[in-house]
Structure 1
């Protein structure tokens, strides 16, 4: 009897040891995280890429072997290519996906199929109409639009004619900014007249410039204020205003950042930019994915912050950190 009990205890000890080895091995397993942006050309996406790399390096130094694979469509209106990228990573069996969906509906099916294949997804930047995600890590975009409305309304002293140039249909992030802008303008500045708010710029700076030229040809003599809800629309409108000599004469608030925008602010051609923290977004997107894979509880919604930059705070230390993330340190 004693021998039997002793044997059982020994077997239990061996089993427990083997189980612990298995858990330890699982904990040390290399994790491959696919990060899929909407596009790859804008500074915004480069900042997200750098933040994702920072997270992977930091996690690796903490004993977690994490590899980030960066791949996205060249154009921010190529839904089919982004769908193919998601499907490709699902087929490869990556451990997780961090995705900035081009379209809040078109990417639902591939994300839900990824989940069925045991490949979870963290959504960043722009929302997805699905509950099959780990977390949504993004700017409070409605708040960003409201900040833009407050800035424009104050600069116009609550009166004037304003244009909103929209970005692209299906983009949840910019839709929220546009909605927040319109809501705030109508509620807080009833003396402001929206003379155009239904035109879309398209996915590139060139298409945005053409859309801006069309609007300025139509409303150029009467428009007093303009809001553009992302980097490409702001860049296109700025070029169009410069071409006709109206840059600085029309009150202009944009969204996102680039060196061109900073220079335009110093030249008083751009009167405010709403700035996100894409570096932090990429960083938190990857960290959240890894923590979830490790069995930790993560928040379903993580706000990465939004700030209004004007000539008054342009040179502040915090602003400079936002405007100049350490891209070269992580993207060499």
Structure 2
């Protein structure tokens, strides 16, 4: 009996030592820091949209690297402001350390976001922002610059009197307003050639239908410019279906596998690509720094790049067009 007691005692000592070593290893691996809780509320979760898919993957990868639990909550449609606000209220009830959000409205979420701040929840804006400066951190493309790059390129391939139509996404949202502004700035004097601006409410189908109407209304139309993936791809589909790619140049913001194919077929003449994965990654990284009392940046431009048929398969640009092929790259390269 005494022999068995010795074995049991030895086993308990080994077990306790192993458990302690495991705890020490875990604390060293995580810097001895508690696991953070974040909720990210994008405008939509849509497997057909590479921008949102890539951005969300960026948040999830950063969460793994920075010892953070992240939950994704989103409405079914990008322009569902009421739905996003209901989700925001649900998120507030869960009392996370931080809420990261891509606001669908410039004005309609401010009061709820302020209430969240008053409850001690930190706020990070990703991709878009609201009228009031409620946030701790903003990570986004410089949308005026993105529009300006697109406008300058458009002006370079048009004749002085060519007619231009703009298919934007959601009227009044910060990204649409700023990209339209930048597009006009980039066009310069040719901004007077814009004959119409329509809004597709971030629907491929509505963008397609609006573009068909624009082509009928303006038979001499020479360019359609989309301001996000839904508006750009929808417009390009319409031009391709009409067999009008030789008459009407399509340019836009955001990319997808379909956009790449449409560029290869000569429909898209140029697109400005956002760095969506980087945007999501930095949103979580900087928020984790804030929550842990480390130095962090409050305003981050995640960058963008003009892509044309001539440069689409060169080095870094190819990585932007095919982000899901590069998710296993080292962290330093991804940033």
TM-score by length of 2: 0.84
Match of 1:207?
206
Q: Distance in 1 between matches of 2:92 and 2:68?
A: 17
> Is residue 149–residue 184 contact of structure 1 (8 Å, CA) maintained in 2?
yes
Matched, 1:44 2:51: yes
Deviations 1:293-320 (A, max 9, x none): 1112322210000110001110011011
Of 180, 183, 189 in structure 2, the residue corresponding to residue 181 of structure 1 is 183
Q: CA deviation at 1:248?
A: 3.7
Deviations 1:272-329 (A, max 9, x none): 0110000000000111111111112322210000110001110011011111113795
Deviations 1:95-137 (A, max 9, x none): 1011100011111111111101111110010121122211110
- Structure 2 residue runs without a partner (length 5+): 1-27, 329-335
When residues 112 and 26 of structure 1 are mapped into structure 2, their CA distance, relative to the original with a 3 A threshold, is: farther
Q: Distance in 1 between matches of 2:201 and 2:87?
A: 22
Q: CA deviation at 1:85?
A: 1.2
1:65-80 map, 5 Å:
65-80=67-82
Match of 1:298?
296
> Is residue 248–residue 270 contact of structure 1 (8 Å, CA) maintained in 2?
no
SS of structure 1 residue aligned to 2:139: strand
1:54-69 map, 5 Å:
54-59=61-66, 65-69=67-71
SS of structure 2 residue aligned to 1:224: strand
> Is residue 59–residue 280 contact of structure 2 (8 Å, CA) maintained in 1?
yes
Matched, 1:133 2:132: no
Match of 2:155?
153
> Is residue 98–residue 121 contact of structure 2 (8 Å, CA) maintained in 1?
yes
Deviations 1:123-152 (A, max 9, x none): 010121122211110000001111111111
> Is residue 57–residue 277 contact of structure 2 (8 Å, CA) maintained in 1?
yes
TM-score by length of 1: 0.85
Higher relative contact order (CA 8 A, sep 6+): 1
The count of corresponding residues between Structure 1 and Structure 2 is: 298
Deviations 1:251-279 (A, max 9, x none): 11111001111111111111001100000
Matched, 1:320 2:327: no
- Structure 1 residue runs without a partner (length 5+): 1-23, 60-64
Matched, 1:53 2:52: no
Deviations 1:21-52 (A, max 9, x none): xxx99962211111111111121111011101
Q: CA deviation at 1:243?
A: 2.1
Deviations 1:37-72 (A, max 9, x none): 11111211110111011111222xxxxx31111111
When residues 327 and 119 of structure 1 are mapped into structure 2, their CA distance, relative to the original with a 3 A threshold, is: farther
Q: Distance in 2 between matches of 1:112 and 1:327?
A: 39
Q: CA deviation at 1:240?
A: 1.3
Match of 2:271?
273
SS of structure 2 residue aligned to 1:122: strand
Deviations 1:153-195 (A, max 9, x none): 10114441111122211311121001111122234x47x6121
> Is residue 256–residue 276 contact of structure 1 (8 Å, CA) maintained in 2?
yes
Q: Distance in 1 between matches of 2:257 and 2:123?
A: 32
